[in-house]
Amino acid sequence: MALGHAEVLLLMGPPGAGKGTQASKLARARQLLKLSTGDMLRNHVAQGSALGQQAKAIMEAGELVPDALIIAMVKEAIAAQNSDVRVLLDGFPRTPGQAEALETLLREFDTALTAAILLEVNEDELVARLLKRAQEEGRSDDNEATIRRRMQVYREQTQPLVDYYAAKSKLRRVSGEGSVEEVFARITEVLL
Ligand code: B4P
């Protein structure tokens, strides 16, 4: 692995597929800056910033925060890197508009996407994982009605990106079922 050179990975998949879990491991292993739009938004909500105030009700309803807000937030974080761009995007892009904005943004930084990793998990397992997290962490968007809505939003707005990245030969499909370590081993393998 050539550290110190640009690398841009993105992790996509339905809610509960393990994006956040795998993103932390992958960022550590490849020395990438992890940018999780979900975590960034939750921080804004916790701080009560203007963006957080706008995002709170949207997230609690299981809808997507408007593209313009998300894109500005990601751009600021990437621009803060002062050497080669080495980032792992977790949960971004989630719409075709975000995917196009990302391409433009990466061109501005003289780089391009390395690979888009898609974590695939069957829906019953997804719901079970998120309900378990609801009991353990009490996240305000982890209740059954919102979880179902997030799945539907994923199918309608984010799934088209699977074809988008496949057409660019950037898509790497990985089964997200099994233990965290098993999934991580599969991801490592598709990035060889
Ligand atoms: P996210 O924070 O991205 O939430 P998520 O889709 O539920 O994924 P997360 O990363 O948290 O969960 P994971 O699968 O790791 O987004 C939340 C909300 O923010 C969105 O609904 C939206 O409103 C907004 N938002 C975020 N990004 C946006 C964007 N780009 N545009 C617009 N709006 C945006 O893990 C789930 C659970 O499974 C965990 O409890 C974990 O421990 C468990 N788990 C993981 N791997 C497992 C395994 N292998 N086996 C068993 N359990 C596992």
Q: How far is the CA of 114 from the centre of ligand 1 (A)?
A: 22
Amino acid letter, 127: V
**In whole angstroms, what is the distance from residue 192 CA to residue 190 CA?**
6
> Do 74 and 13 touch, CB atoms closer than 8 A?
no
Q: What is the DSSP string of 128-179?
A: HHHHHHHHHH--TT-SHHHHHHHHHHIIIIITHHHHHHHHTT-EEEEE--S-
Kindly report, residue by residue over 51-110, the tens digit of the pLDDT.
999 999 999 999 999 999 999 999 999 888 877 889 999 999 999 999 999 999 999 988
Side-chain half-sphere of 182: how many Cα atoms within 13 Å?
Answer: 5
Phi and psi at 34, nearest 5°, equal -85, 125
Average pLDDT in the 108-119 region? Answer: 95
Q: Whose CA is nearest to atom 46 of ligand 1?
A: 18
Ligand 1 in reach of 94 Cβ (< 6 A) = yes
User: What is the structure's pLDDT at 80?
Assistant: 85
- Average pLDDT of the chain? 94
Kindly report, residue by residue over 148-186, the tens digit of the pLDDT.
999 999 999 999 999 999 999 999 999 999 999 999 999
User: What is the structure's pLDDT at 2?
Assistant: 41
Q: How far is the CA of 184 from the centre of ligand 1 (A)?
A: 16
Kindly report, residue by residue over 18-45, the tens digit of the pLDDT.
999 999 999 999 999 999 999 999 999 9
> Do 62 and 156 touch, CB atoms closer than 8 A?
no
